[in-house]
Amino acid sequence: MSNINRSNFASVKKNYYRDGFVILKNFLDEKALSELRNRALSAAKELRENNNDNSPYQNIIKSLDKRDPWFNHQLKRGTHVSLMKYILNGEIEGASAAWFNRPEGSSRGISPHVDIIGSYRKPDAGATIWFALDQAQIDNGCLHYLRGSHKNKYPTETFISGIDTQSKDAVAAELEPGDAVIHSALTIHWSLGNGSGHPRRAISYFYWKAGIKGKI
Ligand SMILES: O=C(O)CCC(=O)C(=O)O
């Protein structure tokens, strides 16, 4: 179950559109966190064992929803879906459930990028909700956001060069297990390696506003 109720939706949405992301403390209760963690670990284990992937992003598994009915159900009807609809102003399409692992000792992070593709860049075009399965902190590779960057115009590319990751608007989204963060598909974000000795595992669900795919 989610600990966010409808009475908080308006303030969550206001902060999301102001900053380009919003942190939701204690979004999952103990039971929901434990179920998500168990499902994620077993799906990731199974998929890794059957995968000969040589890509540099070995620790990312997209489209879990296409391989595992439980994730398909969560993408479509998880307790977060009503909030995602509220934020994206109506019907949404679940694009992907993904596993984002940053194992201990992994030096590779993900460079500043946006999730939107193509030139259709309306503020409510798409959003991601990212659930922390472990404590996510600077030293184990938490997400960082460039606050307000969803309002800027960048080249229509995924990876954006020249971002000042030390700027005063660079925010580390440090989370506890069961916390979540929602970010706009237009917000610049990145993460660093994990030199901490602690795991940093996460599940995310990415949504388009309904009908957007035909426009990108
Ligand atoms: O988990 C990460 O380090 C990156 C996640 C990300 O880029 C995303 O969810 O869009």
Under a CB-based contact definition with an 8 Å cutoff, are residues 65 and 75 in contact? yes
Under a CB-based contact definition with an 8 Å cutoff, are residues 72 and 65 in contact? yes
Ligand 1: which residue has its CA nearest to atom 10?
Answer: 115
Instruction: Say yes or no: CB of residue 185 within 6 Å of ligand 1.
Output: no
Neighbours of 214 (CB within 10 A): 6
Give per-residue pLDDT as tens, 128-162. 999 999 999 999 999 999 999 999 999 999 999 99
Ligand 1: which residue has its CA nearest to atom 1?
Answer: 100
Q: What is the pTM of this model?
A: 0.95
| pLDDT grade for 1, boundaries at 50, 70 and 90 | low
State in Å: Cα 11 to ligand 1 middle.
24
Burial class (CB within 10 angstroms; exposed 0-12, middle 13-18, buried 19+) of 45: exposed
What is the number of the ligand 1 atom nearest to the C-alpha of 100? 1
Q: Per DSSP, which regions of 51-169 are E strands?
A: 60-61, 92-101, 110-113, 126-132, 143-146
Does pLDDT of 114 surpass 70? yes
The reported pLDDT for the residue numbered 54 is 56
Instruction: Say yes or no: CB of residue 204 within 6 Å of ligand 1.
Output: yes
Name all domains of the chain by residue range, CATH numbers in brackets. Answer: 6-215 (2.60.120.620)
What is the number of the ligand 1 atom nearest to the C-alpha of 141? 3
Instruction: Say yes or no: CB of residue 110 within 6 Å of ligand 1.
Output: yes
State in Å: Cα 100 to ligand 1 middle.
7
